[in-house]
Structure 1
Amino acid sequence: MKALVTGGAGFIGSHLVDHLVSQGVNVVVVDNLSMGDLHNIKHQGEVTIYIEDVRNEKFMQQLLQEERPDYIYFLAAVASVADSIERPAETHSVNQTAVFNMLEYLRKAELPIKKFLFTSSAAVYGNLPELPKTEGSRVDPLSPYAIDKYATERFVLAYGDLYDLPTVCVRFFNVYGPGQNPSSPYSGVLSILTDCLQNNKLFTLYGDGKQTRDFVYVEDVIQALWLITKSKTSHEVFNIANGNETSLNSIIKMYEMVAGSKLKIKVSHGREGEVKRSVANIGKLVKLGYTAKWSLEAGLSKYWEGTQQSEASRN
């Protein structure tokens, strides 16, 4: 069994790569390291790694012909809403065109695959009032990033239906855990909070802190991806989340308790294109056997413990 993971040196991608290796899967990674880091991959010696851009169409086609992966996980993305507003054309080329080109090549070359999994985002739901968000909820993408993710979902699912490709899409909610880079503009709020608490830095709170998110620990995300991989489901969308809504203010209080220190906060204006409330219905995933094993407090404690150990080992 062979798997191709684009963006495999990134935060979620590297966790997926390590899990696939532990399951005996032969893994191939493509990553241009614009956001990822090879040190994130624990089993580097057991993985074939190409430092290349997924937008290099000729390279990607040759790779698919030579490697012949059974499973393709498309995680490569420019994952920043703010960046997509600043550079819509460039982010579009990664978040949609590169995916479309791969689907089109799979169709034309008639390469046999067992599953093509595209990673989308809860950002597609936007600010519509219906909560919790089900996979069938109305969408209202507010940024070029969210628009690209939703449009690419439709390509992935339509190609699956029209050309008999076993495709599936997942919508990540707010994933956190070890391996996130707090200095990256694509980083999640929890990694930034961790860095600020650990190094006594000033945290910029955008808006009133009442914005809510559904935070899911990365090990639960990998559990969900593996369940979907093993299932026979195709041409479907799945929310990947914890199923609980938490405000940023509540997160800050909980993390201060976990860390045993007080956060220094600077309040700033809310950001353009930001979703106000977000929480998932994970019923479809539960039917595949998914159970969120990490509560937010347990996940934060594990995350904090890991950062402290990493800091101690560096010193």
Structure 2
Amino acid sequence: MITTNTSILITGGAGFIGSNLCDYFLAKNYKVTCLDNFATGHQHNIEPFLSHPNFKLIEGDIRNSETCANAVQGVDYVLHQAALGSVPRSINDPLTTNEVNITGFLNMLIASRDAGVKRFVYAASSSTYGDSESLPKVEEVIGKPLSPYAITKYVNELYADIFARTYGLETIGLRYFNVFGRRQDPNGAYAAVIPKFVMQFMKHESPVINGDGNFSRDFTYIDNVIQMNELAILTENPEAVNTVYNTAFGDRTTLNQMVHSLKEYLSEFDATIAAVPVLYGPNRAGDIPHSLASIEKAKKLLNYTPKYSFQNGLKEAVKWYWENLK
């Protein structure tokens, strides 16, 4: 039962997805606690919330079990977004990825169990599908992981399942498919492709596509992800809990198509961007060639109806980047 006193802990709340969740649930009159160590999140993402009476910031690391235990006190629901993302990062530094994504995850599960949290909703990943070539991706059919990052996100699902079976903690995993949108960081060695390319085009620099550009992704706009997190909290269907869901739009776009659309939408603000050439480099280790989600399970059990297609979401994202980062 959701009331105005309902309390949510959002781990990684200063990150891209986490800060959007903070924003949304504060607007819905939830009490929101943000736990973040600012390793990949940013203070400026949560700056507007710091004076909000229903917002609380805990600066801390999920690798510290005491921090996790303190953060969940009095919390009804956990939205666990904290993680070290990026396949290349995990290949370069598998140990830290493992510590944050597995040990940190386990710390949060234990803390949530001990505090009597009603439901633990966590960010899973489409990387879990690994080398499975079947399309669209269906939750029950996965392959072998192709990166340390993918291993950590699969282990999260296994731990969540065990905690549901053994301790009765309700869990829902959301397998995010290439999320993009406002507040996604365009900077750094491990920046996601869309914000990185947007920034490069705005500077009239040529972006480099890994491979020939024919790899495809189910790019998913942030508002669809927010909707899935809310549905995961609200559902009272016993069949809908203790499982995982693809969190996507259910369509795929090649990298070449994505870049073409980016140039088209950015050219509305700066016509010269249309002439910026695109470069091609080698394929990247650990990349899945094609990604396309079936969202039938989420539609059936959570009544999920994504509102933003890739094209509509990209228009919104480009407008936000132009207005905020130009």
Same fold (TM over 0.5): yes
For 1:284 and 1:311, locate their aligned partners in 2 and report how far apart those are by CA, in whole Å: 37
After superposition, the C-alpha distances for 1:54-99 in whole angstroms (9 at most, x for unaligned) are 11122222333xx321001111100011111111111100001111
After superposition, the C-alpha distances for 1:158-215 in whole angstroms (9 at most, x for unaligned) are 1111111111111000111010111133322111111111111221111111110001
Q: Contact conserved, 2:62 with 2:108, CA < 8 A, in 1?
A: no
For 1:309 and 1:84, locate their aligned partners in 2 and report how far apart those are by CA, in whole Å: 32
Which stretches of structure 1, 4 residues or longer, exceed 4 Å deviation after superposition?
A: none
So what's the TM-score if we normalise by structure 1? 0.94
Q: Contact conserved, 1:8 with 1:29, CA < 8 A, in 2?
A: yes
User: Are positions 1:85 and 2:98 aligned together?
Assistant: no
For 1:82 and 1:190, locate their aligned partners in 2 and report how far apart those are by CA, in whole Å: 16
SS in 2 for 1:48: strand
Give the superposition deviation at 1:219: 0.8
RMSD, aligned CA: 1.4
Describe how 1:198-237 pairs up with structure 2 within 5 A. Answer: 198-232=202-236, 233-237=240-244
Name the amino acid aligned to 2:59. I
Give the superposition deviation at 1:131: 0.4
SS in 2 for 1:116: strand
Gaps of 5+ in 1: none
Name the counterpart of 2:41: 36
Give the superposition deviation at 1:311: 4.1
For 1:132 and 1:229, locate their aligned partners in 2 and report how far apart those are by CA, in whole Å: 26
User: Are positions 1:48 and 2:56 aligned together?
Assistant: yes
Percent identity, aligned pairs only, is: 33
Q: Contact conserved, 1:216 with 1:241, CA < 8 A, in 2?
A: yes
Name the counterpart of 1:116: 120
| Most deviating of 181-190 and 250-259 | 181-190
SS in 2 for 1:209: coil
| Most deviating of 97-106 and 26-35 | 97-106
Q: Contact conserved, 1:121 with 1:171, CA < 8 A, in 2?
A: yes
Name the counterpart of 1:100: 106
Quickly say closer, same or farther: Cα 1:272–1:48, change in 2 above 3 A.
Answer: same
For 2:129 and 2:245, locate their aligned partners in 1 and report how far apart those are by CA, in whole Å: 13
Name the counterpart of 2:323: 309
Quickly say closer, same or farther: Cα 1:24–1:176, change in 2 above 3 A.
Answer: same
After superposition, the C-alpha distances for 1:267-303 in whole angstroms (9 at most, x for unaligned) are 2111111110000000111122221211222211111
After superposition, the C-alpha distances for 1:85-138 in whole angstroms (9 at most, x for unaligned) are 11111110000111112223444x3x2211101111100102321100011112
Name the counterpart of 1:282: 295
Name the amino acid aligned to 1:276. P
SS in 1 for 2:244: strand
Name the counterpart of 1:255: 262
For 2:178 and 2:111, locate their aligned partners in 1 and report how far apart those are by CA, in whole Å: 32
Q: Contact conserved, 1:175 with 1:188, CA < 8 A, in 2?
A: no
After superposition, the C-alpha distances for 1:244-285 in whole angstroms (9 at most, x for unaligned) are 011001111111111122343222111111110000000111
Quickly say closer, same or farther: Cα 1:311–1:187, change in 2 above 3 A.
Answer: closer
Gaps of 5+ in 2: 1-5, 268-272
Name the counterpart of 2:12: 7
Name the amino acid aligned to 2:68. M
For 2:71 and 2:306, locate their aligned partners in 1 and report how far apart those are by CA, in whole Å: 35
Name the amino acid aligned to 2:307. K
The number of residue pairs the alignment matches comes to 308
